[in-house]
Amino acid sequence: MEFNYAYKQSTAVNESGGNTQMSFSPDTKRPPTYFVGELRQNVAFREAISALHDVVVSDMRFQPKDKTAYKEWRAKQDEIDWQLVAAMRQDVAAKIKPLQEELNQLSKRSSERFAPYYKARDKFRRYVWQKQLDFYFVFDPVITVHPDEVFFECFSVDESSYGRLSASYEVFKNINEFACGTTNVDYSAALYDEFQKIRSYKSTQLQVDPSGFEVQTTNEEAYKEVKIDLPDSWVRGFLQVSSAMSLPATQFDLHPMDIHNICFVLRRHKETTGPRSMRYHLNPGEPVRVVFEPWNIEVVCARSPYTGIQPQTIRVWGRRRLNILERLIPVAKKFTVHLLGTGMPSFYVADLGDMSFTLGLSGWTANDWAQSGNFDLMAPRADVDEWTQKLIFDALRENWLESPDRLAQRLNLSRTAVLGALSAYTQAGRAIYDLNKQVYRVRELSREPLPIERLRFANPREESATRFLSQNAVRVTSVTDNGALILQGSVNDKDKTLNLSLTIDRDERIIDAECTCNWHQQNKLYKGPCEHILALRMQHARQC
């Protein structure tokens, strides 16, 4: 999938004495979006934006070692007559000694003469490495300006981690001008080094450059044209994160020192065998306990009692990605953890006062957001006509952000219809759910509409569910409404009759399901619902 960007110039950093000005160059092909303000909370912003950089360059996929050269070398060693080699070494050793001394003297003189060359070469290598690092920023970071805050979004290289930094206007002072909207900004690896220079005694101005929109098309030579061919999985993963954030989750708070203790254990220990999970033990009124496998090391979060009602144990994998949060520990007030379930995604929201940092992690590192987690299939799926969907989105655009309840009350519509419409726009990349403030926000991921049919299906499950409906192979046998909607039914799949059940909450979200098919028995809901569960849900919606 090709994305075309046009920047007036590259992102610039101007530093003079006690003043630093950072000017981001926005995509001029988008509607004008700009912001100019001076940082008030310099150190906290530096640590938060640095943590966002750690998300961007994160790649924890397993890289197997190439043993081809070793095997070739080992095969040659087996062919050597070592007794003959030992006899020859005695004769050769005496001849080598004076030659070695002479060679050491020559090497010393050579190193002294080549020292300036080696220094210049290392400097050049560092320069090249920094330029190559820019390829990590496959999709230029997304910056969105809203009436109440500015937020940055990014995705990791391995497509398993999502980062979002939101900064309210209290973080800035001397805000000159801004225009709400979403844009991609030109972002380079060198800019990360400039962020490290932010200090409390120096004034730093952050500027999403409004002048980038002043150049007319007649001066196209002044533009910096960028064309990026993104894999569908990258864009699909971005959409899946937004869908997963709107799902119900177990929520509790952790003290910053608890996160420090978790990262400390991960830094001090290296697992060589499985399992490699973390178990959260949550008992009402008791401190949260975290157990690290396979060592069974327990961290008791004495400052963080669990305030939930039901005791439960939730296991999560891909735990080393939590080290991204280390830089936020000194400046965070608390961390709010959102767990969707065992083996499911998790979200960690750092409360930085006037800022918040959201780290979204897939079920485990190899289980990236795009290929395995179809959480848009578990999101609200209410059947809302296009006219109502457009009405709801236009209403959201008026204020740029709003809660579903407030939006439903203002438009005199049902909450289910509002959630269904917002879910559709979330899956289309035009809206995002703010996990920190529990509101939906307008956020256009791309300038052109995304090809939803191409992006939505990473697998043929929903297509198969539609086929079951067309063949009249789905039957709803029982419907129970006791606060949550419980469906029971059967699906005829070829020569088998599968029995299944499904629980949907008041917000039209799947919270539990069972099916006798082999795929569900192996994966449960860790990779989203199977086609039979989806078919049962569609059949019930059709009957209603």
CATH number at residue 509: 3.10.450
pLDDT of 490: 92
Name the average pLDDT for the chain. 80
pLDDT of 374: 59
pLDDT of 11: 60
- Domain residues for the domain of 399 are 379-454
385 in the same domain as 484: no
* 376-405 mean pLDDT: 81
pLDDT of 368: 54
Select from 372, 402, 419 the last residue of a domain: 372
Predicted structure pTM score: 0.72
pLDDT digit string, tens, across residues 157-167:
777 888 999 99
Whether 86 maps to a domain, the answer reads no
Whether 405 maps to a domain, the answer reads yes
List CB contacts of 323: < 8 A, sequence separation 6 or more.
263, 266, 267
* Residue 32 scores a pLDDT above 50: yes
Least confident range of 1-10, 221-230, 380-389, 483-492: 221-230
Number of other CB atoms surrounding residue 326 within 10 Å = 18
pLDDT of 312: 93
Whether 322 maps to a domain, the answer reads yes
What is the C-alpha end-to-end distance of the chain, expressed in Å? 38
Whether 182 maps to a domain, the answer reads yes
Q: How far apart are CA 397 and CA 431, in angstroms?
A: 10
387 in the same domain as 364: no
359 in the same domain as 264: yes
pLDDT of 213: 39
Dihedral over Cα of 259, 261, 267, 272: its sign: negative
What are the percentages of helix, strand and coil residues in the chain, rounded to 5?
40, 30, 30
What one-character DSSP code corresponds to residue 101? H
Query: Who has greater pLDDT, 325 or 126?
Result: 325
Sheet containing 510-515, strands listed edge to edge, beginning at the edge strand earlier in sequence: 474-481, 485-493, 496-504, 510-515
pLDDT of 135: 45
168 in the same domain as 287: no
348 in the same domain as 280: yes
206 in the same domain as 254: no
362 in the same domain as 265: yes
| Domain tally, the chain | 4
Contact 449, 424 (CB under 8 A): no
209 in the same domain as 251: no
364 in the same domain as 331: yes
Whether 76 maps to a domain, the answer reads no
pLDDT of 250: 92
Select from 454, 486, 521 the last residue of a domain: 454
List CB contacts of 433: < 8 A, sequence separation 6 or more.
242, 245, 246, 422, 426, 439, 440, 441
* Residue 446 scores a pLDDT above 90: no
* 237-247 mean pLDDT: 80
Domain CATH number, residue 193: 3.10.150.10
165 in the same domain as 33: yes
Number of other CB atoms surrounding residue 313 within 10 Å = 12
Contact 503, 516 (CB under 8 A): no
pLDDT digit string, tens, across residues 321-366:
999 999 999 999 999 999 988 878 899 999 999 999 999 998 776 6
Residue 334 bridge partners (DSSP): 351
Whether 20 maps to a domain, the answer reads no
Whether 126 maps to a domain, the answer reads no
Q: How far apart are CA 163 and CA 18, in angstroms?
A: 30
pLDDT of 217: 32
* 61-66 mean pLDDT: 71
Whether 65 maps to a domain, the answer reads no
Q: How far apart are CA 3 and CA 229, in angstroms?
A: 6
pLDDT digit string, tens, across residues 407-436:
999 999 888 888 888 888 887 888 899 988
Confidence of residue 136 (pLDDT cuts 50, 70, 90): very low
493 in the same domain as 538: yes
Select from 226, 258, 280 the last residue of a domain: 226
* 525-536 mean pLDDT: 85
Domain CATH number, residue 435: 1.10.10.10
Distances (CA, A) of 10 to 25, 126, 141, 187: 6, 20, 14, 8
pLDDT of 230: 57
Q: DSSP string of 408-477? A: HHHHT--HHHHHHHHHHHHHTTSEEEETTTTEEEE--SSSSPP-HHHHH-SSSHHHHHHHHHHTT-EEEE
397 in the same domain as 362: no
* 1-15 mean pLDDT: 57
